[in-house]
Amino acid sequence: MEREKVHVRLLFLAGFLLFWMTAVFGRVAYLQLFRHSDYLTRAARQQRHTIDIYPKRGVIYDRNMHPLAMSVPVQSVFAVPGEIKDRAMVSHLLSAALGMPADEIREKLDSGSPFVWIKRKLPPAKSEEVESANLKGIYLQEENQRFYPKRDLAAHVLGFVDVDEKGLGGIEREYDNLIRGKDEKVVVMTDGRQHVFDGSETHEDRGVNVVLTIDEKIQYIAQRELEAAIEKTRAPAGSVIVQDPNTGAILALANWPKFNPNSATEASNEARTNRAISDIYEPGSTFKLVTLAAAFDQNLIRPEEVFDCQNGAVTVAGHVIHDHARLGLLTVADILAKSSDVGAIKVALLLGSPKFYDYIRAFGFGTPTGVDLPAESRGLVERLEHWGSFSIASISMGQEVGVTPLQMVTAVSSIANGGLLYKPHVVEHMRNGDTILPLAGPSTLPEPRRVIRPETAATLRGLMEGVILHGTGRRARLDGWTAAGKTGTAQKIDPATGRYSPHNVIASFTGFAPINNPAVTILVSIDSPAGYPHGGGDVAAPVFKAIAEQVLPYLDVPRDVPASPQLVQTAYRKNEQADDNSSDDLAAVDFNAQPEAPAGSAKPQTVKDNQPTSPEVVMSADEGGDIEVPDFSGKTMREVSEACLRLGLDPVLVGTDVAIQQTPAAGAKVRRGSKVTVDFGDPPKHSAKSK
Amino acid sequence: MATAYQWSGPSGDKILDGVASRKPEMTRPHVISRPLNPLAANRKKPAMVEFYTVKKIDNSRLVRHVEPLKMRNLYRTVALGGIIAAFCMLYIYQHFRCIDLGFQFEDLKAKTVQAQKLNSNLKLEIAYLRDPRRIDVIARRQLGLTQPTANQMRDYANPDGSEVAAVQFVRPNHAP
């Protein structure tokens, strides 16, 4: 009986357990097998979030990999008005943090939109202030903001972007689709506390980085000199282009007025215009280079050939053309040097309109150069069939034709490099990380096109040197380098009268240096310089000189002419009681000292004898002339350098320790500025005999 | 009348009808005369005596015969079950470990992103500090530097760093 009771109880317990397990497993099976998809969907909805990844714009570097434009992440404030209960309070708090009017914020919150931007791209301090306020309904969203750390440096080349980082000018616009990168969506899984525990991989399809041909140092030099010239001449506008004539690469492109891309919206359209490629101007006398190049290339003239400039006046098709001076018989070289319009017209008449037109087009005028910048103008060259009877004369002296500064400098570069017309470009290459991408689209570089024969180019280079040596471009003469160029003073049309204005001109100078193996071609154009003189030789040529004399040593271009005499500090003069340890050849040269009297004769009293103690610093006039190379044996580098500096020699020091060998040898006579190579090393050991 | 015999142990254990609660000892049966059925009291008593005996059987030396096949199957089943259980545990462990690592990984990714942001900001600051105009202003106005003239700039041949290092370390001693 008892046994049966026990047995019943056990059965009851087992039955209960069985029922419980059946219920549990049955429920599990029901959920897993029949409701699986429903719960999976619900879980995915709760855990899965899609995040938009806005790619960072690529960096724009100069040719030396110095960043000129880059993007960094910043915070933007947005609101979900539906979650905000007290909008007045929130507006007030945000107004204090963001520095915006509370009414403006309130208006945005009351707009009825479920999502509103309050302010985009805040400085870190302000975003931290908003974050610390911890307002419900106010959130921060990370975005990228474009910065130009060098401010207005190469602004017209770089361009600028809008608030959504879309390129609106310059390289930013031209290569926007490449620099921008691709938007990406990333799926992440979050737990109940919104902590991410899983996410899909990002492909990081960021924008490509662009390396320009611009050199930031040369760009700064060009901008600084242009600004100085603008300030001096009170001109409203101007441009400077520095180009490598051997490749067409643009090393600097500066315009005035300028703007800061960091606040591009505050700048005027005029300031944002890239005048170097968009503005058309009549080149004036600079265009005579094309006239003469064509005539030389056709073997119609020779440099020494004489033309009668008819005392500075000629009549063509009923129009009388006057030179700036009464010029009579001039050689072709002088026509260019003295910029005779009459001479140029006569040369053009020899050439004829069809040939002249062909060469104008061959030099690239009338067509876009294809530079990889937007908004380039093609210039203005009338088709041959539209030329009037006076056109050939007018065009030969640079009127009735419109060119851009870039077209002009590219044409002159072709003369500098021996007759090849290169496509000007500002993009050196593009890279994705460390991988250099092949050039494509507007950045592809076609083969250069031959415009004139090398002999023609060489002849013209010689003539252009004459412009600087004894022509209108004397103020462009460089100290230490040969240079060639051409001035231009083109009258502008007065909009009031429709005729050429005698006062408003475009003063320009285009040249290159050195003559043999040119390193840079520089164009300077000043629009409407005030006052007189305002010609290209007076206003633009000095700017060319200032830029070239800074750029050429920066590029390590060796001097090909001696530098002119300059006042230099020679040495600190010690007391008249000479230091016993000092070497005679290191004593300062005293040009005031009288030569020593011959032996036996009374020593003449000199002014020097009665002078007080010599000044501490001796400034000597560096007069040039033959210099005797001293003996540098056993001297240290510092001693050799100081001696060469004092004598005006150019030392080349090789090795370490003390001087053991020199070229030229001690006692040789050399010219000022000559190189003296000194080898340094271990001093030779004394011979056994001397010991 | 049936006669029930009771067994009584030395300590007077509980006595059950015919069943001893403890190991019985052979004792003299205690005869109990009790009429089981009053009606039968007048009947003649059968001459049947019931004896309850307990036989002590010592099984301690008995060894249960184990079939090897069955044991082998048992071991195999236990091992298989253990392996399955281990795999289940491993699966569960790696599942949650993955989730935990996922949290750590995302946390590290977030830190990496923060470091990259800081790096970008620092690069921007460096670029700003290297602005040629800024350096020019500092050099000219604050430090009083001027541009060198053409004659004041000298070209020095810079020996290769490895050459300088080689000379420094192999230079012979010229001490007397």
Q: Which pLDDT tens digit goes with each residue over A161-174? A: 998 889 999 999 99
* In chain A, residues 187-216 whose CB comes closer than 8 Å to chain B: 188-189, 191, 195-199, 216
The shortest CB-CB distance from B152 to any of A71, A564, A568 is to A568
Mean predicted confidence (pLDDT) in B66-75:
93
Inside any domain, residue A190? no
A407/A497: higher pLDDT: A407
A635 and A520 part of one domain: no
> A543 by DSSP, 3-state: which?
helix
Residue entry with tokens 């541009």: B147
Per residue in A92-114, pLDDT (tens digit) is 988 888 888 989 999 988 888 88
Indicate whether A9 belongs to any domain: no
> Does A654 touch chain B if contact means CB atoms closer than 8 Å?
yes
Same structural domain, A232 and A153: no
**Contact in structure between A371 and A277 (CB atoms under 8 Å):** yes
In this complex, do B157 and A653 lie within 8 Å of one another by their Cβ atoms? yes
Report whether pLDDT(A577) > 50. Answer: no
Read off the tokens for A144: 């990228």
Q: How far apart are CA A338 and CA A487, in angstroms?
A: 10
Is B157's pLDDT higher than 70?
no
| Residue B19 pLDDT exceeds 50 | no
Residue-level pLDDT at B62: 80
Q: Is the pLDDT of residue A3 over 60?
A: yes
* A625-640 pLDDT per residue, tens: 468 888 898 888 888 8
Question: Is residue A233 in some structural domain?
Answer: yes
Q: What is the CATH number of the domain that holds A649?
A: 3.30.10.20
pLDDT band at A582, cuts 50/70/90? very low
Judged against a pLDDT cut of 50, whether residue B4 lies above it is answered with no
* Residue A468 pLDDT > 90: yes
CA distance A486 to A335: 11
Q: Are residues A396 and A303 in the same domain?
A: yes
**pLDDT greater than 80 at residue A2:** no
3-state secondary structure of B6: strand
Between CA A134 and CA A93 the distance in angstroms is 11
- A225 pLDDT band, cuts 50/70/90, is very high
Residues in chain B closer than 8 A to A648 (CB atoms): 151
Contact between B136 and A553 using a beta-carbon 8 Å cutoff:
no
**Do A253 and A127 share a domain, yes or no?**
no
Give residue B2's pLDDT: 41
Specify whether the CB–CB gap between A363 and A414 falls below 8 A: yes
User: How far is the first Cα of chain A from the last one, in angstroms, to the nearest whole number?
Assistant: 134
The domain spanning residue A339 has which CATH number? 3.40.710.10
Q: Which residues of A touch B127 (CB under 8 A)?
A: 66-68, 70, 149-150
A370 vs A501: CA distance, rounded Å: 32
The mean-pLDDT minimum among A80-84, B3-7, B98-102 falls in B3-7
Residue A210 scores a pLDDT above 80: yes
Q: Residue A425: which of A595, A207, A277, A208 has the closest Cα?
A: A277
Q: What is the predicted pLDDT for the residue at B162?
A: 60
- Looking at every residue in chain B, the average pLDDT score rounds to 75
Tens of pLDDT, residue by residue over A525-539, are 999 998 878 888 999
A566 with B151: Cβ contact below 8 A: yes
Pick the range with the lowest mean pLDDT from A11-25, A76-90, A246-260, B52-66: B52-66
According to DSSP, the residues that pair with A658 across neighbouring strands are A681
> The whole model's pTM is what?
0.71
Whether residue B42 has pLDDT greater than 50: yes
Residue A350 · residue A305 · CB < 8 Å? no
Looking at the DSSP bridge assignments, the partners of residue B20 are B15
Residues from chain A that touch B132, judged by Cβ atoms under 8 A, are 150, 153, 216-217, 220
DSSP characters over A141-184: EEEEEEE-TTTTTTHHHH--B-TT--B-SHHHHHTHHHHH---E
The residues that bridge with A24 in the sheet, in sequence order, are none
The verdict on A126 and A246 lying in the same domain is no
Confidence of residue A610 (pLDDT cuts 50, 70, 90): very low
- What is the arithmetic mean of pLDDT over A120-124? 87
Strands A67-79 and A617-621, by their bridges, are unpaired
Across the interface, do B154 and A188 touch by the CB < 8 Å criterion? Answer: no
Looking at the predicted structure, is the pLDDT value of residue B51 above 90?
no
Let me know whether A515 and A418 are in one domain.
yes
> How much is the CA Rg of chain B, to the nearest whole Å?
55
Helix, strand or coil, per DSSP, at residue A600: coil
Which segment of A536-540, B11-15, B67-71 scores lowest on mean pLDDT? B11-15
Put simply, the answer to whether A644 touches B154 (Cβ < 8 Å) is yes
Same domain? A396 vs A332? yes
Q: How far apart are CA A545 and CA A485, in angstroms?
A: 11
Shortest CA distance from A144: residue in chain B: B117
Task: Tell me, yes or no, whether A323 lies in a domain.
Answer: yes
Q: Give the pLDDT band of residue B156 (cuts 50, 70, 90).
A: low
Distance, in Å, from the CA atom of A179 to the CA atom of A165, rounded to the nearest integer, reads: 10
Is there a domain that residue A18 lies in? Answer: no
CA dihedral for A637, A642, A646, A651, sign (positive or negative): positive
Q: Where residue A350 falls among pLDDT bands split at 50, 70, 90?
A: very high
A312 and A451, same domain (yes or no): yes
Number of domains in chain A: 3
Q: Is residue A648 part of a domain?
A: yes
**Which residues 6+ apart lie within 8 Å of A680 measured at CB?**
A637, A653, A654, A655, A656, A657, A658, A659, A660
Query: Would you say residue A382 lies in a domain?
Result: yes
- A513 in the same domain as A398: yes
pLDDT of residue B159: 54
Q: Distance (Å, rounded) from C-alpha A465 to C-alpha A235?
A: 28
Q: Please list every residue in chain B whose beta carbon sits closer than 8 Å to the beta carbon of residue A682.
A: 171-172
What residue in B sits closest to A683 (Cα-Cα)? Answer: B174
Is some CB atom of chain B closer than 8 A to the CB atom of A151? Answer: yes
From A622, A682, A642, A638, select the one nearest A658 (Cα to Cα): A682
* Distance from the A578 Cα atom to the nearest Cα atom in chain B, whole angstroms: 27
Q: Give the C-alpha distances (Å, rounded to integers) separating A591 from A51, A584, A595.
A: 80, 16, 10
Here the CATH number for the domain that contains residue A86 is 3.90.1310.10
Instruction: Identify the CA nearest to A255 among candidates A193, A352, A317, A170.
Output: A170
* Mutation target among B155, B167, B168 for the A interface, most CBs of A within 10 A: B155
Task: Tell me which amino acid residue A658 is.
Answer: V
Q: How far is A549 from chain B (nearest CA, A)?
A: 8
Mean pLDDT (chain A, rounded): 85
Domain that holds residue A665: 567-577+584-593+606-681
Low-confidence winner among A281-290, A345-354, A653-662 (lowest mean pLDDT): A653-662
CA distances from B19 to A558, B5, B7, B13 (A): 131, 10, 8, 11
Yes or no, beta carbons of A479 and B150 under 8 Å apart: yes
Structure tokens belonging to residue B11: 């300590």
Tokens 């119609």 label which residue? A300
Higher pLDDT, A365 or A122: A365
CB A72 within 8 A of CB B117: yes
**Token digits for A523?**
């164009």
Instruction: Give the pLDDT band (50/70/90) at residue A517.
Output: confident
Shortest Cα–Cα distance, B97 to chain A (Å): 11
A689 pLDDT more than 90? no
Tell if the CB–CB gap between B132 and A196 is shorter than 8 Å: no
What is the percentage of chain A residues whose pLDDT exceeds 70? 88
- pLDDT tier, A369 (very low <50, low <70, confident <90, very high otherwise): very high
A167 and A227 co-located in one domain: no
Same domain, A507 and A532: yes
Cis bond upstream, residue A553 (ω within 30): no
The residue written with tokens 């000629």 in the block is A314
Asked if residues A97 and A138 have their Cβ atoms less than 8 Å apart, the reply is no
Q: Indicate the helix (H) or strand (E) that contains A369.
A: none
Nearest to A72 among B103, B120, B133 (CB): B120
Mutate to test the interface with B, among A653, A660, A663, A678 (most CBs of B within 10 A): A653
- How open is the CA angle B120-B121-B127, to the nearest 5 degrees? 90
* Contact (CB<8Å) A150/B127: yes
Q: Provide the pLDDT for residue B47.
A: 78
Least confident of A141-150, A151-160, A299-308, B150-159: B150-159
